[in-house]
A and B are shown apart, each in its own frame.
Chain A
Amino acid sequence: MPARPHPLPSTATTRRTAFGVALAGLAALSACDASRDEPSAASGVSASADPDADLVSGLSDQMTALLGLAASIEATYPRLGPSVRPWRELHEAHLKVLGDDTAPAPAHRRRFAGPDAALRELRQREQRFQPRLVDASVSAQSGPLARVLACMSAGVAQRLVPQGNATRLEAG
Chain B
Amino acid sequence: MTTIRALQTTLAAEHAAVYVYGVLGAQTSRSAAPDLYAALTAAYTAHRGRRDLLTRTIADLGADPVAAEPAYTVPAHLDTSDRVMREAATLEDDCASTYANLVANTSGVRRRWAIMALNDAAVRVLAFRGAPEMLPGADEYTDR
A159 pairs with B1, CB closer than 8 A = no
Q: Which stretch (B15-23, B67-75, B80-88) binds chain A?
A: B80-88
A49 vs B72: C-alpha distance in the bound complex, in angstroms?
Answer: 46
Chain B positions 70-116 with a Cβ under 8 Å from a chain A Cβ? 79-82, 84-85, 96, 99-101, 103-108, 110-112, 114-116
A5 vs B139: C-alpha distance in the bound complex, in angstroms?
Answer: 11
Q: How would residues 116 to 144 of chain B score, 1 for a CB under 8 Å from any chain A CB and 0 otherwise?
A: 10110111011111001111111011001
List, in ascending order, chain B residues with CB within 8 A of A159's CB: 132
List, in ascending order, chain A residues with CB within 8 A of B45's CB: none
A169 pairs with B81, CB closer than 8 A = yes
Chain A positions 125-144 with a Cβ under 8 Å from a chain B Cβ? 134, 137-138, 143-144
List, in ascending order, chain B residues with CB within 8 A of A13's CB: none
Q: Which stretch (A15-23, A31-39, A73-81, A99-107) binds chain B?
A: A31-39
Among residues of A, the one whose C-beta sits closest to the C-beta of B2 is A35
Q: How would residues 19 to 55 of chain A score, 1 for a CB under 8 Å from any chain B CB and 0 otherwise?
A: 0000000000000011111100100000000000000
List, in ascending order, chain A residues with CB within 8 A of B6's CB: 2
A155 pairs with B36, CB closer than 8 A = no
List, in ascending order, chain B residues with CB within 8 A of A5's CB: 140
List, in ascending order, chain A residues with CB within 8 A of B127's CB: 165-167
Size of B's binding interface in residues, CB under 8 A: 54
Among residues of B, the one whose C-beta sits closest to the C-beta of A142 is B104
Which residue from B123, B134, B140 sits with its C-beta under 8 Å from A157? B123
Among residues of A, the one whose C-beta sits closest to the C-beta of B129 is A166
B1 pairs with A34, CB closer than 8 A = yes
- Decide yes or no whether A90 CB sits under 8 A from chain B: yes
B81 pairs with A152, CB closer than 8 A = no
With most chain A CB atoms within 10 A of its CB, the pick from B39, B82, B107, B112 is B107
A94 vs B33: C-alpha distance in the bound complex, in angstroms?
Answer: 38
A167 pairs with B104, CB closer than 8 A = no
List, in ascending order, chain B residues with CB within 8 A of A167's CB: 35-36, 39, 85, 127-129
A3 pairs with B104, CB closer than 8 A = yes
Given A161-B126, A167-B127, A172-B81, do A154 and B104 touch, yes or no (CB 8 Å)? no
List, in ascending order, chain A residues with CB within 8 A of B3's CB: 35-37
List, in ascending order, chain A residues with CB within 8 A of B2's CB: 34-36
List, in ascending order, chain A residues with CB within 8 A of B129's CB: 166-167, 169
List, in ascending order, chain A residues with CB within 8 A of B133's CB: 155, 158
Q: Which 9 A-B pairs have the closest CB atoms?
A: A172-B81, A154-B122, A143-B104, A147-B104, A151-B135, A158-B132, A170-B33, A151-B138, A154-B136
Show 9 A/B contacts (Cβ-Cβ < 8 Å), sorted by A.
Answer: A38-B107, A146-B104, A150-B99, A150-B103, A151-B100, A157-B122, A161-B126, A165-B126, A172-B33
